[in-house]
Chain A
């Protein structure tokens, strides 16, 4: 039995090494878009890979390994955000960012020099449900179908959220950052 554990641990270690090489940076970036704090994103990423090691035996190969890892990363990030909100934020305040975006006041509040940072901050300021679809669609360039699969939701929900997210960004920027793009 001890031998079985050892053999399996060796294979799992090998696999985790490969996953870290192939996806370490991407997972870290993804987590960063959720939590927008570099040090925290690093901690969560480490936890995600350890979680992944623990969960490997239950991987059934239904989803691709990347999708499977993405789901672990997304759930872990969201769980963190949820518990953070629960501990730190009054429920009545949770929609402040969304409302701020809708009234277009956010640009005034962000004192940044570079246009890049403004755009990134706007994306980060979007509620999580819009932020994640924007990240996957425009940055990772996944199809609506792929996003629906990763986030375990309906295709139409993904489309609706993308549309809403673009409207929010458009209002805040006073122009469409994704002009000419359809999905």
Chain B
């Protein structure tokens, strides 16, 4: 059996796994969640209610319009459980704000975001690597 034969054997087996649009979609969804977390954390540097957040996200951000109010409350609940956000009741409204842990995480995320190399540079690199 030759080396080419071996490569062919591998290739045939790899037909069992195909990277499709379904996978791309799942990845996009996962990325969206990551992104929305960072967005929400940055808005909670000021104390806000869930309703205020919904309004802000809806008016300011094209990328987050898919988030409905229910989803935002679910996210807030999760962030609270992760102790990134704290809440308190004021005049029959629950108000949310970053905890110390949340501030630290946001600072870290923002720092990383700013350090991001330019997109042109990265794309050039990706293309070069593919040659």
Contacts and interface: CB of A to CB of B under 8 A. Distances in A.
Contacts of B115: 57-58
A11 B111 CA distance: 16
B54 to A, nearest CB: 15
Interface string A35-72: 00010011001110110011011110100111100000
Q: How large is the interface on A (under 10, 10 to 19, 20 to 34, 35 or more residues)?
A: 35 or more
A94 B16 CA distance: 27
A38 B119 contact: no
A136 to B, nearest CB: 12
B42 A178 contact: no
B64 to A, nearest CB: 9
A57 B34 CA distance: 13
Contacts of A178: 2-3, 6
B9, B12, B60 pick with most chain A CB within 10 angstroms: B9
B114, B118, B129 pick with most chain A CB within 10 angstroms: B129
A116 interface: yes
Contact of B17 (A28, A46, A49, A116): A28
A45 B23 contact: yes
Given A5-B38, A139-B10, A65 B122 contact: yes
Given A11-B119, A61-B117, A119-B6, A1 B110 contact: yes
A13 B31 contact: yes
Contacts of B125: 61, 64-65
A145 interface: no
B7 A179 contact: no
A113 B122 CA distance: 46
A64 B116 contact: no
B113 interface: yes
A53 to B, nearest CB: 5
Contact of A14 (B19, B34, B110, B119): B119
Interface of B: 1-3, 5-10, 12-14, 16-19, 23-24, 26-28, 30-31, 34-35, 38-39, 42-43, 60-61, 63, 110, 112-119, 121-123, 125-126, 128-130
Interface of A: 1-2, 4-6, 8-20, 22, 24-25, 27-29, 32, 38, 41-42, 45-47, 49-50, 53-54, 56-59, 61, 64-67, 115-117, 119-120, 123, 135, 138-139, 173, 175, 177-181
Given A5-B39, A11-B118, A178-B6, 12 more contacts: A11-B116, A16-B27, A20-B27, A22-B130, A24-B24, A25-B18, A27-B19, A28-B23, A45-B23, A64-B128, A138-B6, A177-B6
